[in-house]
Structure 1
Amino acid sequence: MKYRVPPRGVSLILGFASALALIGCGSGVVPASIGSGSSGSSTGSTGSSTGSSGSSTGSSGTTTPNTVALAGMIQGGQKPIVGASVSMYAAGTTGYGTGAVSILNGSTSVVTDAKGSFSISSYTCPSATSQVYLIATGGDAGSGENSRIVLMSALGNCGSIESSSTVNMNEVATVVSVYALSQFMTPGSTAVGTSATNVTGLVNAFQTAANLVDFYAGTLRSTTLAANGTIPQSTINTLANIVAACVNTTGNTTACSSLFSAATPQGGSAPGDTLAATLDIALNPGNSVSALYNLIPSNSPFHPSLAGAPNDWTISVEYTGGGLNYGQLLAIDGEGNVWVPNAIDPGTISEFSPTGAALSGTTGFRGGGLSYPQALAIDTTGNVWAANEGNSTVSEHTSGGTPLSGSGFTVPGPTKPFALALDAAGNVFTANGNNTVTKLNSSGTLKATIVNGGLDYPYAVAIDSSQSLWVANYGVSNSVSRFSNTGTPVSTTASTGGGISGAVGVAVDAHSNVWVANFNSSSVSQLNSAGTPLSGTGFATSADVSAVAIDGSNTVWAANTDGSISHLASNGTAISPATGYVSAGATGEVGIAIDPSGNVWTTDNYVNSIFEYVGAASPAVVPLQQAVKNKQLGQRP
């Protein structure tokens, strides 16, 4: 067995009757309001260490003085920037895009010399794990003073800064820093910050930046740190070249005004500096794609670069390894680790760190009754639950991959569970191919077999904040059923309309609206909390849809069968282009999930890879059960 053929696959090969899965604190000066940030690009260099998941404290905690000099160089393109002001900040932990403080001792900035070099004689870490970054403003890159220059380097843990090394800040470092941290920045300020409840997401975002670029060399890595990730060097370098076209001028030039005009978000204000422009591009990657590409100077400094305008300006990384083998519906745990079920028999589960490092060896985690697992759900203790279509069981593994379910918790009858979801109490609900939904308690014991309510080949299940169940029916009725938590149907018939066609995925947003992935139509559908359709004939996506997810700003993400992903506002208006966002190596996306840093992750079993769209979405509460329990669906942590 390979790809799930009807819904999780890219084409409907079997008729409905046989549509089974074939695969299956410190003190200091607050950053000045200069502009919004973004990211940059550069040339490659090889990385050699492994990635890790991160949880850490932010800018609060015991201060840690560091009197060892930190030296560096600021460059525009490959030219030194003379007279630039360099500031050093610790990211805040009191709110998104706020709370950052200067940590330099004795001054708020230092100035680069005739060679573009700077030296920081002393700084104080609010804590060893405070997340630290550098900002460079102004200076002369060779054409004259340019007040539009603002560059950035995301250094990470304050206590881990390599004081014996030299930081090299340029457009590449800027692009990567801004993309990774975009969801923790606010237009109009250089401040970086997160909420007190999402420090993990911030730490992971800094790690994501370091996974792509060597900030001491100022160059892109040839691969990610664990050597299993393909970095889109040409895309990042092209973005860096676009920014460099403005940096290497006096600022009041066509190069800068054209950049700011092209980067202006629809209905928004124009950026006023290179960091603000980069942030606007990162947050609006489908905006003015060709116009931005046409700004590349003939003597562009960073290579390799794109030979033509891309589909969009997302930065996506492709990861392999970890035993990936026909990956299906993935899930994110509380640390931001990515878990993927591999639909083979015996089945396996792959785990990746927030930076894409494989944590499950070369073959994945085994046991516990895994057999063609189709979907995963993770509970608030970190245990991983899998729906096994192959043997009609549910498996449970610890966060370390140790099986807890023997040969599998039995789902009575030839049920063929395709998906599962967890309620606030830890009960497990599976959507089964025999027109039932099964409820198990957190120990794997059967509590109820749910029937009626219009169930018609149920293929996906979601829990809303009131703990009610919503079930997507792939059958000929093209419908969604709703049940109370005890299994009582809300209606004898399921909800239809709104363009539902081949319902294979379901998600609930912050307003208890229900979103449906349509496998037989290039669209998603929306129902309100009463099951009334809100989407007319469906909201358009770039291709048929395999899965749907809601991010922390209550916007909608769809995994599409042509390898693209689509992004829609909460009213169904398209945010992404008509073609969606596209990663170079993607062929047919199966699952989609949002992590606490705002990265979008997808599975693609045709190439046995997972893809990360860096900083593309608003951070989400993870695991999903935590959002259900805390009534935080569609909200940031």
Structure 2
Amino acid sequence: MLQEPGRRASHGLRGGILVILATVCCTFLLAGCGSDGQLHTLAGTQLKGQVHGGQQPVSGASIQLYAAGLSGNGAVAVNLLSPNVVTTDKNGAFSITGDYTCPTATAQVYLVSRGGNPGLASGVQNQALVFVAALGDCGTLTSSTYVWMNEVTTVAAAWALSPFFGSGALAGASSTNLTGLRNAFGTAASLANIATGTAPGGSLPTGAIVETAKVNTLANALAGCVNSDGGAACTPLFTATAVAGVAPGNVFDAALNVVRNPGVSVARIFQAVSANAPFQPTLASAPSDWTMSITYRNGGLDVPAALAIDSTGSVWVANYFGAAVSKFSPLGVPAAPQGFPGAGLNQSYGVAIDPFDNAWVTNEQSVSAAGNSHYGSVSKFNAQGTELSGNGFTAGGLYYPVSVAATPAGLIWAADYGGSAATLLANDGSAISPAPGYAASQLPFTSAVALDAGGDAWFATQQGAARVSASGVVGSFACCTGPAGIAVDPSGNVWIADYGAYAVVELNASGAVAHTISTASAPVSPQGIAVDGAGNIWAANYYGDSVTAITGATAALRSPVAGFGIDAPLNEPYALAIDASGNLWFSNAGNDTLTEIVGLASPVKTPLLGPAAQP
């Protein structure tokens, strides 16, 4: 029942906590806070569930229902059951009898189970046993909601919500990233079914593929510690998952350490799996790393190229063939079975989202009806997939455009491969740059464009890079063998995927080479490149079928030389983008699919309108 404005909820939520929530909500104008300045709460309903370690019920476990915090990643969550105490019975069952109030209908909530006896002698408590189940929108919980908490739901929450968890199993996001938080809870539901405690989840779109055996294998690695008194049986897992010499104190923190450091102690973590692994199917040998992927298909994907993410977390994909642009929900559901058709779409490589959530797609060769000798065009679509540009915009010197970027004001930059130039368009498609484009013939075979914080556009060019101002002033810099992708970090450094040299190159803001990070021992040919909200660098390896990770501040490799994600079904990944949940999205040109590597990056504000920033 929706509480009337000004009425204080009385079911299990202390007045002081409610006042704090109301203050947070109304300060940041969150969903559920009315124009009258009051918090519109929602009375909770009865919830039931069970806690199982492997296949053993856990008795005497303490159950908390949390609402994710709203003051930053890892912010203090609110225990909605306090001061009430809920514990599991001898069968591991628990019942929450409605003694809580949802802060808002869309508040993201999750259950935590702490301690308990996993079928051992009477009086034994395993304090290392901490399970998590991500529930999602508080307002969707009903009396029929049943939650089976176990190792599978726990590792699913760790992967999907890694950027949002702090210490003590407390999760939160900034008040400006409720979308990223909510989408991450949705991804957790794709990895695990909380009603059955099994992988994958029940909400996957048709044809989607989860690395189910890897989910079960990490769950099995936790199970040996879970089904014990928390002592010696936990040592192999906790030793293998220590970070900087500090071992975790419970299985959920161990899972978080694994997914945040997926290339560390991979074999030792696998060795923690017991011979009688409770969750099947499981991996027969250690994985390449502990990254987790979901791969999607359909939606009109046809040799997918660049991709971009809008303000809702939906993923737009340019397709070289098919004369359609694809759009997928944050959970991988296609917006249209065959994509959105466009009269002007033809051989499309690039896509960008402007501040109004319009999608701009480059057409390397324009259709005949465009009337510009097939020199190329740019098409514009609104958020619903309606084409707004007819046969395509062709002004401003467009000549085989292959990449595009949008400014905070909604201006559109295009990299003109054919004209070795740059085009700048207004948001209505009219030209700002002159007929030959800016820097005509000064950007040799430009292949990609990215924007810095000062409003200049940086272009990947043949054996170098160039910076072009909004008035057309050009600066050129030598650096590379075969630049393919380009990105700018929050400090103004420029990062280039050097496809020909099997390397990632960093230029400082003045265009001088600062670092070259080579992957020549594993010739992976980086193609696309992106920066996350923490300034870390991610490069899609077209022939390596992997992703290279680099710490931006030090230019040190975070991934193995061959990259992360080798177990994922990446297939000639052309481009990547990062969403507000910290997920990495890849277009697979080799098999017409879209792969999401879950929760590995720092969240990014979308759409991308310059250097990456925290949401």
Q: TM above 0.5, one fold? A: yes
- Do 2:32 and 2:41's aligned partners in 1 also have CA atoms closer than 8 Å? no
Rounded to whole Å, the distance in 2 between the matches of 1:529 and 1:185 is 33
Q: 2:614 — aligned with what?
A: 636
Rounded to whole Å, the distance in 2 between the matches of 1:488 and 1:541 is 39
Rounded to whole Å, the distance in 1 between the matches of 2:32 and 2:242 is 31
Rounded to whole Å, the distance in 2 between the matches of 1:417 and 1:378 is 16
- Do 2:53 and 2:118's aligned partners in 1 also have CA atoms closer than 8 Å? yes
SS of the equivalent of 1:530 reads coil
Q: Deviations over 1:348-403 (max 9, x none)?
A: 10110000011122x11111411111010001111000111022100000101100
Gaps of 5+ in 1: 1-24, 31-54
- Do 1:223 and 1:229's aligned partners in 2 also have CA atoms closer than 8 Å? no
CA separation of 1:268 and 1:611: change in aligned 2, threshold 3 A: farther
- Do 2:421 and 2:442's aligned partners in 1 also have CA atoms closer than 8 Å? no
Q: What is the deviation of 1:436?
A: 1.0
Instruction: Answer yes or no: is 1:472 the counterpart of 2:454.
Output: no
SS of the equivalent of 1:329 reads strand
Gaps of 5+ in 2: 1-8, 18-28, 367-375
Instruction: Answer yes or no: is 1:159 the counterpart of 2:139.
Output: yes
Rounded to whole Å, the distance in 1 between the matches of 2:41 and 2:202 is 35
Instruction: Answer yes or no: is 1:457 the counterpart of 2:445.
Output: yes
Root-mean-square deviation (Å): 2.0
- Do 1:368 and 1:396's aligned partners in 2 also have CA atoms closer than 8 Å? no
Q: How does 1:94-133 map to 2 (within 5 A)?
A: 94-104=71-81, 106-107=83-84, 109-121=85-97, 122-133=99-110
Paired residue type of 1:623 = P
Q: 1:44 — aligned with what?
A: none
Structure 1 residue aligned with 2:470, among 476, 485, 488?
Answer: 485
SS of the equivalent of 1:590 reads strand
Rounded to whole Å, the distance in 2 between the matches of 1:380 and 1:414 is 22
Paired residue type of 2:439 = V
Q: Deviations over 1:381-436 (max 9, x none)?
A: 11000111022100000101100001000046671111011122211111112211
Q: 1:48 — aligned with what?
A: none
Structure 1 residue aligned with 2:545, among 563, 569, 577?
Answer: 563
Rounded to whole Å, the distance in 1 between the matches of 2:32 and 2:189 is 17
Q: What is the deviation of 1:584?
A: 3.2
Q: How does 1:124-273 map to 2 (within 5 A)?
A: 124-143=101-120, 144-186=124-166, 188-221=167-200, 224-253=203-232, 255-265=233-243, 267=244, 269-273=246-250
Between 1 and 2, higher relative CO (CA 8 Å, sep ≥ 6) is seen in 1
SS of the equivalent of 1:249 reads coil
Paired residue type of 2:355 = T
Q: What is the deviation of 1:29?
A: 9.7
SS of the equivalent of 2:48 reads strand
The TM-score with structure 2 as length reference comes to 0.89
CA separation of 1:295 and 1:56: change in aligned 2, threshold 3 A: farther
Q: 2:513 — aligned with what?
A: 533
SS of the equivalent of 2:340 reads coil
Q: 1:6 — aligned with what?
A: none
Rounded to whole Å, the distance in 2 between the matches of 1:61 and 1:268 is 44
- Do 1:535 and 1:572's aligned partners in 2 also have CA atoms closer than 8 Å? yes
Rounded to whole Å, the distance in 1 between the matches of 2:404 and 2:145 is 49
Rounded to whole Å, the distance in 2 between the matches of 1:539 and 1:466 is 31
Q: What is the deviation of 1:289?
A: 0.4
Q: Percent identity?
A: 38
Q: 1:518 — aligned with what?
A: 498
Q: What is the deviation of 1:56?
A: 7.8
Paired residue type of 2:529 = V
What is the aligned residue count?
Answer: 568
Rounded to whole Å, the distance in 1 between the matches of 2:94 and 2:361 is 53
Return 433-442 or 293-302, whichever deviates more: 433-442
Q: What is the deviation of 1:159?
A: 1.0
- Do 2:533 and 2:613's aligned partners in 1 also have CA atoms closer than 8 Å? yes
CA separation of 1:608 and 1:563: change in aligned 2, threshold 3 A: same
SS of the equivalent of 2:157 reads helix
Q: How does 1:38-437 map to 2 (within 5 A)?
A: 57=31, 61-66=39-44, 68-104=45-81, 106-107=83-84, 109-121=85-97, 122-143=99-120, 144-186=124-166, 188-221=167-200, 224-253=203-232, 255-265=233-243, 267=244, 269-344=246-321, 347-361=323-337, 363-391=338-366, 392-411=376-395, 415-433=399-417, 434-437=419-422
Rounded to whole Å, the distance in 1 between the matches of 2:345 and 2:74 is 43
Rounded to whole Å, the distance in 2 between the matches of 1:303 and 1:28 is 46
Q: 1:495 — aligned with what?
A: 477
Q: What is the deviation of 1:189?
A: 2.0
Q: What is the deviation of 1:285?
A: 0.9
CA separation of 1:436 and 1:541: change in aligned 2, threshold 3 A: farther
Paired residue type of 1:384 = A
Q: What is the deviation of 1:590?
A: 0.4
Rounded to whole Å, the distance in 2 between the matches of 1:85 and 1:342 is 51
Rounded to whole Å, the distance in 2 between the matches of 1:58 and 1:234 is 39
Rounded to whole Å, the distance in 1 between the matches of 2:424 and 2:51 is 59
- Do 1:223 and 1:230's aligned partners in 2 also have CA atoms closer than 8 Å? no
Return 256-265 or 386-395, whichever deviates more: 256-265
